[in-house]
Amino acid sequence: MTLNRTKRLIAPSILSADFNRLGHEIQDVEKAGCDWIHIDVMDGHFVPNLTLGPPIIRSIRKETKLPFDVHLMIAEPLRYLSDFSEAGSDIITVHLEACHNLKETLSEIKKLKRLCGLSLKPGTSAQKLEPYLKLVDLVLVMTVEPGFGGQSFMPKMLEKVKWLSSRFDGLISVDGGIDLETGRKAAESGANVFVAGSSIFRQSNRKEFIAQFRKAVSI
């Protein structure tokens, strides 16, 4: 998979999908015009919630050709990277706060030939990313506390997006509380990937919403 930094990418987070019909939900947002599928993996330890792992990713891999943007909110992800890669992840993002040996973790993602993402919680300063910026393809700025969908966007996180946009060549993703309004603000600050769970999945007409969203972030 190669990077296109000029296109703004919309990545629905399946955390807010109806898990009883997950395959159908994924096909629905694909038909509605999204770019990536964002998959939140939580371990009940790094974050206070549990979600899914490689077997479910493997089984939904058959539903779409869209890239899988896998956001690992798990402690010491190094142990599981090959499992997530084999299951069909295209982008693997780990948390700066979750890794004992972050450089080794990032280089393992590269060895697996996946795009490499690094995320940080709201309380972690952007400056902490500095030693790793040359090693990653994407930085995912958490704009809520990781763990749950449906929370309110934290406007202060836009400062991190601005900080990154002046010194990082890769993709800048925002995740948490993203809707038309906050997505536009994030785009103005330099974000180019927009992860949105509840704002997309609660729509009855997702095609129309994604078209509006694309307009809002195409500044």
**Residues annotated as catalytic (active site), given as ranges:** 40, 175
R_g of the chain, CA atoms, integer Å = 16
Phi–psi pair at 108, nearest 5 degrees: -65, -40
Of 107, 105, 102, the closest CA to residue 131 belongs to: 102
Are the C-beta atoms of 5 and 215 separated by less than 8 Å?
A: no
196 contributes a contact to ligand DX5 by CB under 6 A: yes
Q: Which CB atom, from 103 or from 192, has the smaller least distance to ligand DX5?
A: 192
CB of 111 to ligand DX5, least distance (A): 25
Q: Which does 105 bind (CB under 5 to 8 A by kind): Zn ion, ligand DX5, none?
A: none
Taking CB under 6 A as the rule, does residue 147 contact ligand DX5? yes
Under rule CB under 6 A, residue 48 binds ligand DX5: no
* Residue span 51-90 as binding mask against Zn ion, x where in contact by CB under 5 A, dash where not: --------------------x-------------------
Candidate ranges 11-19, 26-34, 84-92, 206-214; the one touching ligand DX5 (CB under 6 A): 11-19
Buried b (16+ CB within 10 A) or exposed e, 181-216: ebbbbbbebbbbbbbbbbbbbebeebeebbeebbeb
Site membership for Zn ion, residue 43 (CB under 5 A): no
- Tokens 């490499």 belong to 116
Of residues 146 and 170, the one with the C-beta less far from ligand DX5: 146
Q: ∠ at Cα 157 (168, 192), nearest 5°?
A: 45
- Asked if 37 and 12 count as a contact pair (C-beta separation under 8 A), the reply is yes
Which residues are at the interface with ligand DX5 (CB under 6 A)?
Answer: 13, 15-16, 38, 40, 71, 144, 146-147, 149-151, 175-178, 195-199
